Structure 1
Amino acid sequence: MHEIDRSESITVAGAGLVGSLLSLFLARRGFQVEVFERRPDMRRETVDAGRSINLAISARGLHALRQVGLEEEARRHAIPMRGRMIHPVSGALALQPYGKDDSQHINSISRAWLNKYLMTHAEETGRVRIRFRQRLQHVDFAAGTLSFLDEAGGATRQERAPVLMGTDGSGSVVRQEMTKLPGFSSNSELLSHGYKELTIPAGPGGSFRMEKNALHIWPRGAYMLIALPNEDGSFTCTLFLPFEGPVSFASLNSPGTLTAFFEEQFPDAVPLIPELTHDFFHNPTGTMVTVKGAPWHVGGRALLLGDAAHAIVPFFGQGMNCGFEDCVVLDSLLSRHTRWEDVFTEFFHLRKTNADAIADMAVENFIEMRDSTASPRFLLEKQVEKVLLNAFPGQFLSRYTLVSFSRVPYRLAYQVGTLAGGIVSELAEGLKRAEDVDLDRAARLIRERLVPFVEEHSDGFRPEG
């Protein structure tokens, strides 16, 4: 068995958000950390635009940053989003609040800013060294060695890595190397939709040209446009479309068809995106994938975390939050175990079911965002849900609230959401206004269905880590 030795160097593959935060946690525990990153240093070189969806950071991610003393600064660079601002093809805008009141909100934050901030703080511990343009090519788990191509110099070399943390994203080389071993499996499911980033520039003096404190959605059934606010007054827009079909990236193949499509489907967005044609045809088309695999570790030698272990589509805004929660859970296990294999085994046991749950919820939320948010019935049910959250605090719980505003394990949030959704659907039947909901009946249904479930799983409602 591989004992945990604080004098031993730990190797981290990938200096993205999760790898950089993980390095901070490990440095705090006294480890020396060697980080290898395929890309150039984004603090010194411009990274291609259009390759990342804006991030929504919520309770789980903020808690992780709090553990390493970085939450306060991150909040200063984040913009609260209190709900979804729905843009119909014609008609008035409608705000659908995320929580019971304005205190419950998610936050828009720049992926690039946060990644740079985490890398710099990791290096400032004096225990973390990040080496860039290092492309991982092979892992020999038995020998504890890695083969890298140094893309700056062109040489291939080996590095010793007795303990390896794979945080190298959804296309993880560490995971691919694991699946070559007996007993390992990995399934990657590509979403039939892709995405393209567009930009709404800031107004005069850095002003916001739409409501600042909202996540804007133009839901159109099989496709949608969203926009998240940035610190400089601009919005990053993301167009989600099928790859193929009558309305798809394949069909929007000329400036004329693109402009006509936007004028018909997103008329209020057209004057806000002056570089629409340039952005659409210049920026890459991104893909989205769900990754489920097992196990996530090779004995006590290597472990997958973040997207490398459980990539999810971005429609619940939980990819980074889930990855950051991985770091918190791993850190707590390091305080309880003396052997790496025990840490890795328990980590997989704790996180696998939760990662699968949020992966499924993210796909379901995609359908909700692009289709249901435009439905009057959906809007009524959301209003009923808000009434119940305020009328029965601590008793009525919604899936969105538990996922975004608490650290309750995802698997329980999923199950509670199913029960709560059933209650809301029954109570909304035949209603014209949410204020007319039968609170006596609501109290009975909550007592009969939700309360027993929460009491039965009371231990599980304590956050992981």
Structure 2
Amino acid sequence: MFIKRKKIAIVGSGLVGSLLSIYLSKKGYIVEIFESRDDMRKEAFSAGRSINLALSNRGRKALREVGIENKIMSISVPVHKRLMHSISGDLTEQYYGKKNQAIYSVPRKELNCMLMDLAEENGVKINFSNKCIDIDFENTELKFKNSERKKFDFVFGSDGAGSIVRKKMNLFSDLNVYTNIIDCGYKELTIPPSNKGAWIIDSDALHIWPRESYMVMALPNQDGSFTITLFFPLKGKNSFENLKTNSDVNDFFSTKFPDLVPLIPNLSDQYFNNPVSSLGIIRCDSWKVNNFMLIGDSCHATVPFYGQGMNAGFEDCNLINEIINDSSKSSLFKTPVNEFLNKRRLNTTAMQDLSMHNFIVMRDKTGDDKFLLQKKIEALFAEKNPTKWTPLYSMVTFSHIDYNDALIIGKKQEKIMREIMEIKNIDLIWDSQKIQDKILSLL
């Protein structure tokens, strides 16, 4: 008996939309992606508009499930630690987890291009320069800027933080959308490789220059360069609005980041040629209306300070795949989808809260001796008691524990550590059995 294969549309050919299309195509669905922009694979590389991405265990699992992990890992650089740079030039390192655990620095554009290639190899049709401008929710129909209309069995909105699908869904059925644009933006700069094409600073580290109300981060690329991101207030004394001239930029960096200046040629040119981009979070109470569902940044955009935006979006794809039938079934979902979405929304909200908190940690605390000592105590206790304590960062980055569970456990751990850090002479006895026993007693 002939069974008609269901047709699914995905609005947005970004990272999550492209990966989701591979999952759905492998399930047997006919999948089309609609992208408002031109095909980025045909454009010259343009720096300045993207933070390097940190691929970690959640994202890797999602790639592994569709057999593309090794291909994606081939464009990554492993990063095992943070390396903090003080104004005086002192360096302090902090491993992310166990010494064999790493996050992986991946260039966004190269990753996106590779995912689109893999989607097409799996039979997905990508329609570029095809902007969705309206939606018929009763008939599962999309209307495009060229006046074309197309009907589908189901539509996923994966069109990012500025999602047109979310906006139209919100007009049709109030999603109670919450948007919080923080008072900090970012600008990208580049440390080029040496004349021999090598890295000129440690490539095994995420470099951080923490300066309380602002910071600089640097992640390595395979070509020997580093992508630098300046996270800076939009307004105020030290802010983007106050760096107006070449001398403003050079004076500011020379004063606040003296060891960074020699690494960036044409600093002021790079600074003024690259745009300032905004940062924020988006939440909504519902991700599904009729046969339309949001995924990724369109429903849970976050700030980049835990490196979980892409990983959470990829995890969406893997989790949705688990509740979707193959294309021969009459129903798209084999389990109650609203129950799944309620749980997922709880977890992505926790992920956003963790990301906002980590902004403060990275900006204000990674240069603080007391904070660094606390992390050393936690790491030592976790090493000796692996079944009793997993540091919060490791739960988020190197495990698949629900984000909300990690948040709850992390709060309990922080309460314990506040008490530990108040112990007299903690800096002298931090690695003693007395401290180990005290933590055990507080669990």
TM-score range, shorter chain: over 0.9
Moved beyond 6 Å, runs of 4+: none
How far is the alpha carbon of 1:203 from its aligned partner? 0.9
Deviations 1:366-424 (A, max 9, x none): 01101111111101101011111101012112211100000100000001111112222
Superposition map of 1:269-418 within 5 A: 269-299=260-290, 301-335=291-325, 339-340=331-332, 344-418=337-411
Deviations 1:238-268 (A, max 9, x none): 0011111011110001111110000000000
How far is the alpha carbon of 1:142 from its aligned partner? 1.1
Residue 26 of structure 2 corresponds to which residue in structure 1?
28
Deviations 1:112-145 (A, max 9, x none): 111111111111112x100111111111111211
The aligned amino acid for 1:302 is: F
Q: Does 1:121 align with 2:118?
A: yes
Superposition map of 1:221-240 within 5 A: 221-240=212-231
Seen in structure 2, the aligned counterparts of structure 1 residues 381 and 139 have a Cα distance that, compared at 3 Å, is same
> Could you tell me how far apart the structure 1 residues matched to 2:215 and 2:343 are?
35
What SS does the corresponding residue of 1:361 show, helix, strand or coil? helix
The aligned amino acid for 1:122 is: A
How far is the alpha carbon of 1:335 from its aligned partner? 4.1
Gaps of 5+ in 1: 150-154, 447-465
Gaps of 5+ in 2: none
> Could you tell me how far apart the structure 1 residues matched to 2:45 and 2:137 are?
32
Residue 455 of structure 1 corresponds to which residue in structure 2?
none
The one of 415, 420, 426 equivalent to 1:427 is 420
Q: Does 1:188 align with 2:185?
A: no
What SS does the corresponding residue of 1:64 show, helix, strand or coil? helix
Seen in structure 2, the aligned counterparts of structure 1 residues 141 and 47 have a Cα distance that, compared at 3 Å, is farther
How far is the alpha carbon of 1:57 from its aligned partner? 0.4
Residue 134 of structure 1 corresponds to which residue in structure 2?
130
Residue 220 of structure 1 corresponds to which residue in structure 2?
211
How far is the alpha carbon of 1:347 from its aligned partner? 3.3
Residue 144 of structure 2 corresponds to which residue in structure 1?
148
How far is the alpha carbon of 1:338 from its aligned partner? 5.8
> Could you tell me how far apart the structure 2 residues matched to 1:140 and 1:310 are?
24
> Could you tell me how far apart the structure 2 residues matched to 1:47 and 1:348 are?
37
Deviations 1:222-251 (A, max 9, x none): 100100000001000000111110111100
> Could you tell me how far apart the structure 2 residues matched to 1:86 and 1:248 are?
21
What SS does the corresponding residue of 1:228 show, helix, strand or coil? strand
Assess if the C-alpha contact under 8 Å between 1:423 and 1:445 holds in 2. yes
Assess if the C-alpha contact under 8 Å between 1:11 and 1:34 holds in 2. yes
> Could you tell me how far apart the structure 2 residues matched to 1:36 and 1:219 are?
40
Assess if the C-alpha contact under 8 Å between 2:379 and 2:391 holds in 1. no
> Could you tell me how far apart the structure 1 residues matched to 2:73 and 2:336 are?
31
Residue 170 of structure 1 corresponds to which residue in structure 2?
161
> Which piece of structure 1 moves more, 306-315 or 416-425?
416-425
Assess if the C-alpha contact under 8 Å between 2:84 and 2:207 holds in 1. yes
Assess if the C-alpha contact under 8 Å between 1:384 and 1:428 holds in 2. no
> Which piece of structure 1 moves more, 234-243 or 422-431?
422-431
Q: Does 1:19 align with 2:17?
A: yes
Seen in structure 2, the aligned counterparts of structure 1 residues 343 and 15 have a Cα distance that, compared at 3 Å, is farther
> Could you tell me how far apart the structure 1 residues matched to 2:42 and 2:172 are?
38
Q: Does 1:444 align with 2:441?
A: yes
What SS does the corresponding residue of 2:265 show, helix, strand or coil? coil
How far is the alpha carbon of 1:334 from its aligned partner? 0.9
TM-score, length of structure 1 as denominator length: 0.91
The aligned amino acid for 2:136 is: D
Seen in structure 2, the aligned counterparts of structure 1 residues 350 and 335 have a Cα distance that, compared at 3 Å, is farther
Assess if the C-alpha contact under 8 Å between 1:397 and 1:420 holds in 2. no
The aligned amino acid for 1:111 is: R
The one of 207, 214, 217 equivalent to 2:198 is 207
> Which piece of structure 1 moves more, 404-413 or 280-289?
280-289
The aligned amino acid for 1:162 is: D
The aligned amino acid for 2:54 is: A
Assess if the C-alpha contact under 8 Å between 2:305 and 2:358 holds in 1. yes
Q: Does 1:53 align with 2:51?
A: yes
> Could you tell me how far apart the structure 2 residues matched to 1:233 and 1:183 are?
48
The aligned amino acid for 1:62 is: R
The aligned amino acid for 2:162 is: G
Instruction: Provide the alpha-carbon RMSD of the alignment.
Output: 1.5
What SS does the corresponding residue of 2:150 show, helix, strand or coil? strand
What SS does the corresponding residue of 1:250 show, helix, strand or coil? helix
> Could you tell me how far apart the structure 1 residues matched to 2:223 and 2:46 are?
19
How far is the alpha carbon of 1:6 from its aligned partner? 6.5
Deviations 1:1-49 (A, max 9, x none): xxxx860110000010000000000011000101001121111112532
Seen in structure 2, the aligned counterparts of structure 1 residues 6 and 71 have a Cα distance that, compared at 3 Å, is farther
How far is the alpha carbon of 1:276 from its aligned partner? 1.3
Deviations 1:146-181 (A, max 9, x none): 1112xxxxx332222331000000000000011112
> Which piece of structure 1 moves more, 303-312 or 428-437?
428-437
Assess if the C-alpha contact under 8 Å between 1:137 and 1:148 holds in 2. yes
> Could you tell me how far apart the structure 2 residues matched to 1:339 and 1:315 are?
38
Assess if the C-alpha contact under 8 Å between 2:25 and 2:31 holds in 1. yes
The one of 82, 85, 97 equivalent to 1:84 is 82
Residue 105 of structure 2 corresponds to which residue in structure 1?
108
> Could you tell me how far apart the structure 2 residues matched to 1:82 and 1:192 are?
30
> Could you tell me how far apart the structure 2 residues matched to 1:49 and 1:411 are?
35
Assess if the C-alpha contact under 8 Å between 2:50 and 2:108 holds in 1. yes
> Could you tell me how far apart the structure 1 residues matched to 2:73 and 2:403 are?
24
